Chains A and B, each alone.
Chain A
């Protein structure tokens, strides 16, 4: 099963309430995915520095802070339970290499100028509370509640998957050609940290975007290249896009008002959103890419 949710703010009105809106959506999708949950929040970006979202697992935060501060001079750390957001001017290639070498027990769950990602195993309501999602502000956000099917219940197996700068992907469904595609993408230089099918789809999107294809065109090509059942929400710095496979077994419903666009697996995820009963509510049609902000 799995539940996916997303919210894109068309105006500034709800920017301070983005976390609250998204947490309500995730809480309401608990029934579709009780195994793990995660979310990506996009905030106005500061181009002068990068943000790295890390899961430090069982490391002691104080010790980690002390150790990393010795090696990288200019950096700011913010702790959210077992996740840490690091702000630094270090570039991704250099920083990721450094982390893999110096702190192999730390997982890098995402990076970019705008994105912050949090994901963990456990009941969505607990995960949302643990990371204090309600307190977040931002321009758009994407979330996922997971009912694990084809790979283990771990942090690495949780969504959203981020395989490129300020990119992320959540998925309801399953892919049948992910092993082949993973091999092909590895040959092209992509790296994968899990056996999960969605990570392959995220890698596919990143690969295409890095070849200067638009998000919309990438997802249109994906309809041919990704075999299986899916509703995807793909996020970038500017916005997000939604696509369902041609068979469209996996549900999705969109609510659009003058202030926001919300998407969820089921309407009940957005029943609490402001003015939703007057929103334009529709189902994304099979095989059509819907995009906002990009």
Chain B
């Protein structure tokens, strides 16, 4: 079914998608003319296939559960923020705070993501085919952040148990973020994520893994300058 945001109000479209009857079989939708609107496809809870044709604004696919959402364009701040499950695939670039606080699901960004990608992520898997900006993975708690390009300044600052995999250069590491050994289980997980994101030209072994040195978990007077 085609939904034209030039003709229909965004709130109506979101309401319709948020209230799809579980018994209905027609679960594929194409949204046209998003024209940078905010919160397109926010709060979906059902297994739907949605294709958004064009650039969207902030918080696209926020709080997503189960839905499979593809954006054929760029996304603004906070795409898939607080996603619980499902899949969000951005074919263009993403603005800051992509996948912020997301608990689960998979976020794929074909282009670059700007600053604070995966900030405070809590279990989501994020795969960025391009590069990420500064402060990516800031205070991230669990899940995996995979970057096929480079990472900006202060990567993984104050992170907890997220695994960050970077193929390219890291401008600088944030407080308490260190390079860690790639074990077999990490390579296996990374292979799986690359496959899910349809990336065939990268070898999992060529990535470097970054994680927490676990020195900032509890207050220590010796670390006062890092707090």
Asked if B74 and A251 sit within 8 Å, CB to CB, the answer is: no
A293 at the interface (CB under 8 A from B): no
Report which of B36, B74, B114 forms a contact with A269, defined as CB distance below 8 A.
B36
Q: Report the separation of the CA atoms of residues A269 and B115 in the bound assembly, to the nearest whole angstrom.
A: 22
Q: Mark A256-294, 1 if CB is under 8 A from B, else 0.
A: 000000000011111110000100011101100000000
Place the interface of chain B in its size category: 20 to 34
**Contacts known (A281-B74, A286-B134); A268 close to B37, Cβ less than 8 A:** yes
Asked if A286 and B35 sit within 8 Å, CB to CB, the answer is: no
Q: Report the separation of the CA atoms of residues A251 and B54 in the bound assembly, to the nearest whole angstrom.
A: 19
What's the count of A-B pairs with C-beta under 8 Å?
49
* Total A residues in contact with B, Cβ cutoff 8 Å: 16
Q: Mark B19-60, 1 if CB is under 8 A from A, else 0.
A: 000000000000000011110000000000000001111100
In the complex, chain B residues whose CB is within 8 Å of the CB of A269: 36
In the complex, chain B residues whose CB is within 8 Å of the CB of A266: 36, 57-58, 76
Instruction: Pick from B90-98, B143-151, B190-198, B206-214 the stretch touching chain A.
Output: B90-98
B133 at the interface (CB under 8 A from A): yes
The B85-119 residues at the A interface (CB cut-off 8 A) are 92-93, 95-96, 114-115
Asked if B35 and A268 sit within 8 Å, CB to CB, the answer is: yes
Asked if B35 and A271 sit within 8 Å, CB to CB, the answer is: yes
A175 at the interface (CB under 8 A from B): no
B77 at the interface (CB under 8 A from A): yes
Q: Report the separation of the CA atoms of residues A266 and B36 in the bound assembly, to the nearest whole angstrom.
A: 8
Asked if A267 and B57 sit within 8 Å, CB to CB, the answer is: yes
In the complex, chain A residues whose CB is within 8 Å of the CB of B36: 266-271
In the complex, chain A residues whose CB is within 8 Å of the CB of B54: 277
Q: Report the separation of the CA atoms of residues A285 and B153 in the bound assembly, to the nearest whole angstrom.
A: 12
The smallest beta-carbon distance between A277 and chain B, in angstroms, is 7
Name the residue on B nearest A267 (C-beta).
B36
Q: Which of A248, A267, A269, A286 has the most CB of B within 10 A?
A: A267
The smallest beta-carbon distance between B187 and chain A, in angstroms, is 32
In the complex, chain A residues whose CB is within 8 Å of the CB of B93: 281-283
Asked if B55 and A267 sit within 8 Å, CB to CB, the answer is: yes
Asked if A277 and B57 sit within 8 Å, CB to CB, the answer is: no
Name the residue on B nearest A277 (C-beta).
B54
Report which of B37, B56, B133 forms a contact with A286, defined as CB distance below 8 A.
B133
A253 at the interface (CB under 8 A from B): yes
Tell me the B residues contacting A by CB distance below 8 Å. 35-38, 54-58, 73-74, 76-77, 92-93, 95-96, 114-115, 133-134
15 contacts between A and B (CB under 8 A): A248-B114, A248-B134, A251-B76, A251-B95, A251-B96, A253-B74, A266-B57, A267-B55, A268-B36, A268-B38, A269-B36, A271-B55, A277-B54, A281-B92, A282-B93
11 other contacts beyond A251-B95, A267-B74, with CB at 8 A cut-off? Answer: A248-B96, A248-B134, A253-B76, A268-B35, A277-B54, A277-B73, A281-B55, A281-B93, A283-B93, A285-B114, A286-B134
